[in-house]
Each structure stands twice: as structure tokens, then as C-alpha cells.
Amino acid sequence: MHEIAVKTDLLQDNNDAAHHNREHFVEHGVYVINLMSAPGAGKTTLLERTVDALQARHRLAVIEGDLQTSRDAERIARHGVQAIQINTGSACHLDARLIHQHLGALDLDALDVLVIENVGNLVCPAEFDLGEHDKVMVLSVTEGHDKPSKYPLMFHVARAMLVNKIDLLPYTDFDLDKAAKDARAYNIDLTVLPVSATTGAGMPAWYEWLEGRIAKVKGR
């Protein structure tokens, strides 16, 4: 009983902070993505390629969430966009207050798109709204096609699912149709995009999806 009450308070507190973040993003016209996946699914690799593809047309920044180290922020910064690292210590997810604490380091007026790479975890990040416009999740083919059924919340809350590492499909028993069907059982509107962040296969469809969302959210 107490446990339920504490969790409800925690999530309510987070939702209040997320609402506040959203007001900032809307006021400054910044489209914000919360990028989530299990550890190592390829979020940072995907982002490195994405910022290369989009930065000629959009002003981008990235917030990197990790338990420790600033490696992912350093990887992104090498591509010429601002990257802020948040270390959560032992927490398995980012929360809206943590994001708010770091917004001061960004000039939101000088940004079109902000991507927040969450801590690698297939469970906790899905519960915490950060004030983003869209949650996007990455499922890599080496994780297995049973993951939507085993970890449904992540698939339920995402607007798009990138199925990454498709270059490795010949070496796995991953069934793309099954993964997509199971994920859509929790989320009928889910957009499914098979990609390889290392070879670039399928990435143009992801950029097109992003362009559509940026245009819609920013009212262009």
C-alpha cells in the first residue's frame, strides 16, 4: 500500500516537471525526442549518423543519459553539435527534473531539434515522461523478436520503433514481421522502421519520418 502511494507521488511529481519542460519546448519551438532502448541497441551510433544527415537543415543538440562516463556525449560532440552528458549514478532512467536542471546549458531559441538519449534500459525509461514530443525506441535484431511481448510498456508508449542492426539479420533468427506484429498489439499506430545504423540501410526512411514530425510539430 505504502509502496503504491510513494510510486504514485513520484510519477505525479515527474509528470508536473515534464509538463513544465514541455512548456519550455513549445515556447521556444523545439521538437524533442526521447530515444530509448536496451543497452547497446545502437542509440548513439544511430544519433551520430542522424546528426550528420540533418544538421545542414536543422539546428540540433543532444542530451546523453548514462549511469557513468561522458563517452556518448563525446561521440556526438565529434560530429559538431552540442552534446550534454547527464550521469544518473545508479538510476536506470532520466527523469523530467534532471532534464530541467540541464536545460539552462542549452540555448533553446537557437535550436530546432533536441534528442535525449535515455539510459540503456528496456523498462524504467518508459515510465518517465520528460516533456518530449515523441518517444522513439530502438530494438536491435540481436535482442530477439520476443521483446515486445516481454517488455510491453516501452512498445506501448513509443511513436516509432527502429529495428536496428538489420545487417546482422542473416546471423540471427529474428523475425521482423513477428516483432512488428507483437509491438503493434500494444500500439496500433506504431511506425516500424528497419535500419542499420552502421551500414546506413533504411536510414532515409527514418530521416523522412523525422522531417515529417519536425514539420508537423513546428507547424511548418
Ligand X SMILES: Nc1nc2c(ncn2[C@@H]2O[C@H](COP(=O)(O)OP(=O)(O)OP(=O)(O)O)[C@@H](O)[C@H]2O)c(=O)[nH]1
Binding footprint of ligand X on the chain (CB under 6 A) = 37, 39-45, 72, 120, 164-165, 167-168, 196-198
Residues 8, 5: Cα–Cα separation, whole Å: 5
Residue with smallest beta-carbon separation from ligand X: 120
| Closest to Mg ion by CB, 21 or 44 | 44
Residues 129, 131: Cα–Cα separation, whole Å: 6
Question: H or E stretch including 134?
Answer: strand 134-140
Rg (CA), the chain: 17
| Closest to ligand X by CB, 11 or 91 | 91
| Closest to ligand X by CB, 17 or 85 | 85
* Residue 41 contact partner, candidates ligand X, Mg ion, none, CB within 5 to 8 A by sort of partner: ligand X
- Determine if 44 is a binding residue for Mg ion (CB under 5 A): yes
C-alpha neighbours within 13 Å on the C-beta side of residue 83: 22
* Residue 212 contact partner, candidates Mg ion, ligand X, none, CB within 5 to 8 A by sort of partner: none
| Closest to ligand X by CB, 55 or 172 | 172
Least Å distance, CB 165 to ligand X, is: 4
Q: Are 217 and 31 in contact (CB under 8 A)?
A: yes
Q: Which residues pair with 65 in a beta bridge?
A: 86
Residues 37, 123: Cα–Cα separation, whole Å: 9
User: Which residues bind to Mg ion, rule: CB under 5 A?
Assistant: 43-44, 72
